[in-house]
Amino acid sequence: MASNQHRDKDIMVDIPEQLNLASFYLENNIERGLGDKIAVYYKDETYSYSQISSLSNKVGNILKELGVEVENRVLLAINDSPEFVASWYGVVKIGAIATDVYTYLHEKDYVYFLDYTRAKVAIVDLTTLPRIEKAAVQSKYLKHLIVIGDNNYPYLDYNTLLDNASDQLEVETTKADDVALWKFTSGSTGQPKAVPLTHRNTYYNYHTFGRHILRLNQDDIVLAVPKLFFGYARDISMLYAFAEGAANVLFPERSTPERIVDLVERYKPTVLVNVPTMINAMTRLPHANKRDLSSLKFCTSAGEALPKELYTRWMDTFNVQVIDCIGSCELCHVYISNRLDRNKPGSLGQLVPGYEAKIVDEKGNELPDGEEGILWVKGESQGLGYWQAYRKTHETFKGEWVDTGDLFRRDEDGFYWYVGRSGDVLKVGGIFVAPLQIENCLLTHEAVKEVAVVGARDEQGLIKPKAFIVVNDGFEGSEQLAADLKNYVKNNLAPYKYPRWISFLIELPKDNNGKIRKKELIELDNQHE
């Protein structure tokens, strides 16, 4: 049996004992003469590296004045803006821990995050303030609320504080293994949990994935579809891009296909940080093939596997190469990825240099190439476990290895193919069925815009596939269309895999990262039994 423990190639990352991410990603640009270079495009404004550095210094001084110390957590609930960038780096500069959270949560969610992080200080903007101020009065730990924007509220005013703060700040001498940031799980099976990540973790992933796969340079401009609180987007556009002296494009509004295409045509970015849901939506735009995306060298895709059919449709529409990849907050960022020069559409690529992986059965025994099993990964970007979750930590972190909980197979060329989440796989007639395979099949039908497949029980109590579908414009959910779609799956997959039931929805429930919340669909199905 061939070992599944292997690397793309050996790579040595020299990690200094003393390391501060703000120094490495931001201040290094000043030292190498790039202070006047544009770092951020925002609406009609531009911000140079020197300006972002100065703003972050002021934020750092403000936080220190308010009593924030090394290792204290600071909550950021800010929409994408220069203020987000400056605040994030300001936190890290003083050795505190950046805990950035989603900006469109409910009051109860912010109560949870304030208590969970025990942040003394929160920095928010006017869009998040109405919900956070209600949460703040319930927090036992929050001492100061800083508000960005025209502040007529009885809280600390961001701009006033900036006006009175010094733009000179000595970056805290932190160790490589000091915690720099928290990344939160999606919370699909409960409340989000944080993975504390050190300065080492993201530094390592930049030198493996950022340098060897993305290969950004000073001339690049990065536009991200997901918002900066989503670590996948933040790390590429605000960290890895800055490491090379590149720029990013920020916008505070929600991402829509029309807005993304407009921004590409306006700012001419070279890299688009994307997700499959948006890739699908952009290809469905009226006259999509007439839109000018020629500035793009490539786009990345993560969050979920990109079906081959969708990859082909994107290429036919825009002719922009896609680097499909997978990562996790447990390992900081991406560990398996396609490359511009090594790409198998439908796969998630090969190991990123510096990482190891193996595919195992339920008992942890390695499986040979071609067999489906659970993916385990190891690398020096591994986080410190889950905050306040001992049992969950030990279920996932197996010494040097991280049990991803994802089902994969690896082919003879070392490309990894996503099968589904280990808990999502259905057993139909004694045979395992991956919902993802059914979903990918249905997505090739012209009527299907979005789809999610879950397990449902028939009259005998046996589990069978059920599909929830959002139809494309020009189509209407009906019994006839449901019958056509069932036959379509039967004709393209093994007949036993077809969905026994099809429900048409206006939209699918999604979390803040754009992932479909299948748990809600299962609950919805149970309510109608």
pLDDT band at 7 (very low <50, low <70, confident <90, very high): very low
Residue range 511-529: average pLDDT?
A: 74
What pLDDT score was predicted for residue 510? 84
Question: What's the pLDDT score for residue 513?
Answer: 64
Predicted pLDDT at 234:
97
Report which of 417, 406, 425 is spatially closest to residue 331, judged by C-alpha positions: 406
pTM attached to this predicted model? 0.84
Residue 59 confidence (pLDDT) above 80: yes
Strand partners, 502: 467
pLDDT of residue 362: 84
Termini Cα distance of the chain: 47
Q: Which token pair is 193?
A: 């949990």
- Which pLDDT belongs to residue 3? 35
Residues 451-486: tens digit of each pLDDT: 999 988 877 666 789 999 999 999 999 999 999 999
Name the percent of the chain lying above pLDDT 70.
Answer: 94
Of 401, 366, 404, residue with least CA distance to 380: 401
Beta-carbon contacts of 261 under 8 Å, excluding residues fewer than 6 positions away, are 282, 285, 288, 291, 293
- Predicted local distance difference test score (pLDDT) of residue 9: 52
Q: Please compute the mean of the pLDDT values over residues 167-178 and round it to a whole number.
A: 97
Please write the tens of the pLDDT for every residue from 200-211.
999 999 999 999
Instruction: Confirm if 378 and 401 have CB atoms less than 8 A apart.
Output: yes
For residue 435, what pLDDT is reported? 87
CA distance 250 to 243: 17
- Give, for 404, the enclosing helix (H) or strand (E): strand 401-410
Give residue 528's pLDDT.
56
Mean pLDDT of all residues in 298-323: 92
Tell me if residue 280 falls in helix, strand or coil. Answer: helix
pLDDT in tens, 317-375: 999 999 999 999 999 999 999 999 999 999 999 999 999 999 998 888 999 999 989 99
What are the tens digits of pLDDT across the range 93-113? 999 999 999 998 889 899 999
Q: Is the pLDDT of residue 150 over 90?
A: no
> Which structural domains are found in the chain, ordered by start?
25-174 (3.40.50.980), 426-527 (3.30.300.30)
- What is the predicted pLDDT for the residue at 436? 83
Report the side by side order of strands in the sheet with 298-301. 45-48, 38-42, 247-250, 221-224, 271-274, 298-301, 321-327, 334-337, 350-351
Question: Given CA atoms 340, 342, 345, 347 in this order, what sign does their dihedral have?
Answer: negative
Residue 521 · residue 513 · CB < 8 Å: no
Strands 298-301 and 321-327: parallel
The region of weakest confidence among 182-196, 295-309, 405-419 is 182-196
Mean residue pLDDT across the chain:
92
Are 335 and 404 in contact by the 8 Å Cβ rule? The answer is no
What are the respective helix, strand and coil percentages of the chain, to the nearest 5? 35, 25, 40
Helical residues (DSSP H) of 364-434, grouped into ranges: 390-396
The predicted pLDDT at position 222 comes to 98
Task: Check pLDDT > 80 for residue 4.
Answer: no
Q: Which two three-digit tokens encode residue 461?
A: 């109590």
Q: Supply the pLDDT for residue 493.
A: 84
d(CA 517, CA 512): 10
Helix (H, G, I), strand (E, B) or coil at 432: strand
Nearest Cα neighbor of 47 from 242, 254, 216 is 242
Question: What integer pLDDT is reported at residue 104 of this predicted model?
Answer: 83
DSSP summary character for residue 365: -
- At 255-296, the pLDDT tens digits run 999 999 999 999 999 999 999 889 988 999 999 999 999 999
